[in-house]
Amino acid sequence: MATGKINVSVDNIFPLIKKFLYSDHEIFLRELISNATDATLKLKHIASTGEAKVEYGNPIIEIKVDKEGKKIHITDQGLGMTEDEVKKYINEIAFSGAEEFLDKYKDSAKDSGIIGHFGLGFYSSFMVAEKVDIITKSYKDEPAVQWTCDGSPNFTLKKSKKETRGTEIVLHIAEDSTEFLEDNRITELLTKYNKFMPIPIKFGTKTETLPKPEGAKEEDPAPTQEVDNFVNNPNPAWTKQPAELKEEDYKGFYRELYPMQFEEPLFHIHLNVDYPFNLTGILYFPKLSNDLNIQKDRIQLYQNQVFVTDNVEGIVPEFLTMLRGVIDSPDIPLNVSRSYLQADGAVKKISSYISRKVADKLASTFKNNREDFEAKWNDIKIVIEYGMLSDDKFFEKADKFALYPTVDGNFYTFEELQEKLKANHTDKDDKLVVLYASDKEAQHSYIEAAKAKGLEVLLLDSPIISHLMQKIETSKEKLSFARVDADHLDNLIKKDDTQISKLSDEEKDSLKVNLEEAIQSKGYTIQLEAMDSTASPFIITEPEFMRRMKEMQQSGGGGGMFGMSNMPEMYNLIVNTNHELVGEILNTKTAKKRERLINQSLDLARLSKGLLKGEELTGFIKRSYEMIK
């Protein structure tokens, strides 16, 4: 038996590594299975090139937990190592990798910059084991060897009786890591990190029910048998060519990724590039609720089918982190901090590639099946609108397929919308005014009023829409959005100059005085308008910019930075001088009765705008009952 000293200057790496990697001990299993996979794929390669005369067969990787013996075994049937190779790859290379790592992070660490997944490789076994054996036999005709080390720089190397090709790693689990001796914990790790690795991974057995034999009785139990339990799908959908896959396969893979999701995805996008970087993957548009905070199942990042993380921030454009699916790239540097990642050129290219691919897919879906696209719009608009808001290149592309639904269920693209509105949606400055409602129920009376004027009303109700409108307004000249209950509405209605006021100028003056006296100090700007006699007598509107600022503030956007946390309430009261009730107000002789009429009308207008609440609402209802008694 040979003993030796591993050539490292750090005396005892073991406790140091443990300290640095505290939160991430579980990655040891991923690292060891990755090594086993590499060794098997290397064997496959040399067998296929004829470099070595070996039978490749159907190799598997097996994980065994020996709870009593406090050991975990990871066994592969890969190419194995000779004694010299162990000395070279384990003693020199694996350990020097660990040392280099420590050198680099000794001071900076305390986990600040390190993202946790740095592929420390073989050495990570010492995070959970107090002693590690490597029992290995090379495919070359050389005797098997056993290497043993307790994490100190001292190792032993001796001949072994192992007869089959491959490597067995034995972890003697440390007292503080016995959680990893639980089958459940290992299953959890295998599911998290190894679900799609390319070599079959066996962990224990499972009971399989067999069909009942011919002539079996109803009450006879079905026969069962114990079969090997494999934990992974070695050929996940994203590793295949899009042409090999049908719609059903994509849906099936979604269920495989997210077994707890019962809702089907809306579309998938198959990513497949090999220049200037390597990237494969499948992204899915899930059905999203308007609540952006519920987002449990996230995009998973893999490196050659090994799970790395489900925090793809920086790699996928932010607006697309709402999607689901898988990205696999050997080119994403994993051993670096997030801030470095965001500055990395390759990563930036990946991010803009993904954004472009998503835009292209949406554009082609829109083109090929507009009806289907319209039907899905409500569920995908959040992502698209968010993308348009945050990514100018995406905005340019999406401008051609982003939809603007009307309250009556028509869908227009921006271009179609402009065409449609040209006729009667311009205001006195010749600006195109896009009328919209954000809540069909709450703004019902305003929607009806606009429709009665022959105006088109959009239904724009996503939480970030006010930010997007702001952006569209700045990028398109002579266009503005106005909610149906905003003051722009008056301009559009005013254009309708076929209406002549029934009141003389003196009557108007006296009406205005009456109104001001009755309503005083309630902060309304009173405007008299000659409208159709069937339109409401009193209408309350709110300046569009005011309301939008308030909204943007609430949704956490730009508004807050102008320090407008206490914006005043500002409303206009539009009084329809052609309405019968307004004539009555004017002709009422007693001041008391007139005031009652005005205040009751004002409250009705406030009710219709949703402004009448609490004590005032209670008072109004009480008063109304009195009146009809």
Q: Which does 286 bind (CB under 5 to 8 A by kind): Mg ion, ligand ADP, none?
A: none
Choice from 121, 153, 198, 286 touching Mg ion (CB under 5 A):
121
DSSP-derived letter for residue 245 is -
Interacting residue with Mg ion among 33, 35, 128, 449 (CB under 5 A): 35
Tell me: does residue 78 bind Mg ion (CB under 5 A): no
- State how far the alpha carbon of 249 is from the alpha carbons of 3, 279, 305, in Å: 54, 20, 18
User: Tokens 């000395």 belong to which residue?
Assistant: 87
In this chain, which stretch among 72-80, 324-332, 348-356, 377-385 interacts with ligand ADP, using CB under 6 A? 72-80
Q: Is 40 in the site for Mg ion (CB under 5 A)?
A: no
Contacts to ligand ADP from residues 86-125, by CB under 6 A? 89-90, 93-94, 97, 119, 121-123
Do residues 599 and 518 touch, judged by C-beta distance below 8 A?
Answer: yes
Among 107-115, 119-127, 397-405, 493-501, the segment contacting Mg ion (CB under 5 A): 119-127
- Segment interacting with ligand ADP (CB under 6 A) among 74-82, 170-178, 482-490, 553-561: 74-82
Q: Does 303 bind ligand ADP (CB under 6 A)?
A: no
Query: Which does residue 325 bind out of Mg ion, ligand ADP, none, counting CB within 5 to 8 angstroms by kind?
Result: none
* Separation CA 106–CA 9 (nearest Å): 14
Q: Kindly determine how many residues on this chain lie close enough to bind Mg ion according to the rule CB under 5 A.
A: 2
Give the helix/strand (H/E) hosting 509.
Answer: helix 505-519
Chain residues 12-51 in contact with ligand ADP, contact rule CB under 6 A:
31, 35-36, 38-39
Q: Are 442 and 461 in contact (CB under 8 A)?
A: no
90 binds, among Mg ion, ligand ADP, none (CB under 5 to 8 A by kind): ligand ADP
What is the bridge-based pairing of β-strands 324-328 and 300-303? parallel
| 151 interacts with ligand ADP by CB under 6 A | no
Q: Is 47 exposed, middle or buried (0-12, 13-18, 19+ CB in 10 A)?
A: middle
Answer yes or no whether residue 167 interacts with ligand ADP by CB under 6 A.
yes
Q: Is residue 37 close enough to count as binding Mg ion by CB under 5 A?
A: no
Looking at beta carbons only, is 31 or 344 nearer to ligand ADP? 31
Nearer to Mg ion, 329 or 577 (CB): 329
Q: Does 306 bind ligand ADP (CB under 6 A)?
A: no
Q: Where are the alpha helices (DSSP H) in 158-285?
A: 183-193, 247-257
Q: What is the DSSP string of 303-339?
A: ETTEEEES--BTTB-GGGGGSEEEEE-TTS--SS-HH
Report whether 492 contacts 427 (CB < 8 A). yes
With the CA atoms of 529, 610, 435 and 508 taken in that order, what torsion angle do they form, in degrees rounded to the nearest 10?
A: 0
Residue 277 contacts ligand ADP per CB under 6 A: no
- What percent helix, strand, coil does the chain show, rounded to 5? 45, 20, 35
Instruction: Decide if 332 contacts 354 (C-beta within 8 A).
Output: no
The verdict on 6 binding ligand ADP (CB under 6 A) reads no
The entry of ligand ADP, Mg ion, none near residue 81 (CB within 5 to 8 angstroms by kind) is ligand ADP
State the nearest-atom distance from the C-beta of 31 to Mg ion, in Å. 6
Would you tell me which residues interact with ligand ADP (CB under 6 A)?
A: 31, 35-36, 38-39, 76, 78, 80-81, 89-90, 93-94, 97, 119, 121-123, 167
Would you tell me which residues interact with Mg ion (CB under 5 A)?
A: 35, 121
